[in-house]
Structure 1
């Protein structure tokens, strides 16, 4: 089974914290987490993509999507939508769509906002749309997760989220629990699909 790709854009570090907490859940399920980010976009159409950051994960390439067995996609909210750098990267995946490279791979989404009602759910839904076009299987968070009933910060059935209240970027305990649960669920789904595909191939 290939790695679980955790792909995100983060401006001030809050979304990155979610990504790393999801990775904990992925690896707790026995899978390998591959964390990648995307570069900022420039208003100059001829600007070259910057080199990989000196700290933190490298920038994603299309091969990361091809090689992964599952995807966790994250972005801060920009007016109720995903941030432009992540959209810019997804807009480059038409070749993968033509080849059906992502069909039947499980995926989840995550986001962060600086206010309680900052458009989290619409942002999560906006990130699902291109994944559905790719034929991916969306994995939300079921209400069997106790932290969904007790959180007073982030957390939605559409995917994990974080609220940066009063510039406090630390994840709440409920947010951490939901991230771990989301990562674990995603890895388990990837493993189950991989097993079914392998068994089907053997049967043929």
Structure 2
């Protein structure tokens, strides 16, 4: 069975909510969704999912990577995590595996797309194959909240509301389904 690692960091729950929806899409493709969190720099921070191991990252068939927006970039915890993956990079463990990114910000123009692009950089350096959401998904044309062709997003507002809009939910599910289908096709080629 194809294993899709859904790796994220979430402070207020919105990115975790997106991860859960991505997992639904992965399951729709008859693939296994493994939801893991990035080790927090603040050891007091608790997550609802286990912390990822480097073995899980190396052995995944595809990767969905999520982080909140921090000034148009991923959180420091996520950057620190990728800074410590040199051993995987040296072995080429992630080369040619499909990957995509997702995020959440406090405002509509809070840096979602810039963050998704910056989150893609370590994945490209690892030789991963990036995927997003095509405009064949109707919600991408209709959303008044989150959702971009670069990947699923959520706009939480100034009160950090983790409740996803219908469009945000559907786009995250579609993204997970697409990522799992691409991973399956590449693995069985």
Work out whether the TM-score is over 0.5.
yes
- Which stretches of structure 1, 4 residues or more, deviate above 4 A after TM superposition? 50-53
Q: Name the CA shift for 1:152/1:52 in 2 (closer, same or farther; >3 Å).
A: closer
Give me the whole-angstrom Cα distance separating, in 2, the residues matched to 1:32 and 1:143. 26
**CA shift at 1:165, angstroms?**
2.4
Aligned residues: 188
2:186 aligned residue (168, 172, 193): 193
Give me the whole-angstrom Cα distance separating, in 2, the residues matched to 1:104 and 1:98. 14
Which residue does the alignment assign to 1:199? none
Does the alignment pair 1:111 with 2:70?
no
Give the unaligned 5+ runs of structure 2: none
Give the unaligned 5+ runs of structure 1: 43-49, 197-204
Q: Secondary structure at the match of 2:113?
A: helix
**CA shift at 1:12, angstroms?**
0.6
Q: Is 32-41 or 104-113 further displaced after alignment?
A: 32-41
2:175 aligned residue (179, 182, 193): 182
Does the alignment pair 1:83 with 2:81?
no
Which residue does the alignment assign to 2:8? 8
8 Å Cα contact 2:2-2:180 kept in structure 1: no
Alignment of 1:45-56 (within 5 A): 50=43, 53=46, 56=48
8 Å Cα contact 1:52-1:59 kept in structure 2: no
Give me the whole-angstrom Cα distance separating, in 1, the residues matched to 2:100 and 2:70. 19
Which residue does the alignment assign to 1:30? 30
Which residue does the alignment assign to 1:45? none
CA RMSD of aligned residues (A): 1.5
TM norm structure 2: 0.95
TM norm structure 1: 0.89
8 Å Cα contact 1:2-1:67 kept in structure 2: no
8 Å Cα contact 2:153-2:168 kept in structure 1: yes
Q: Secondary structure at the match of 2:123?
A: helix
Does the alignment pair 1:160 with 2:149?
no
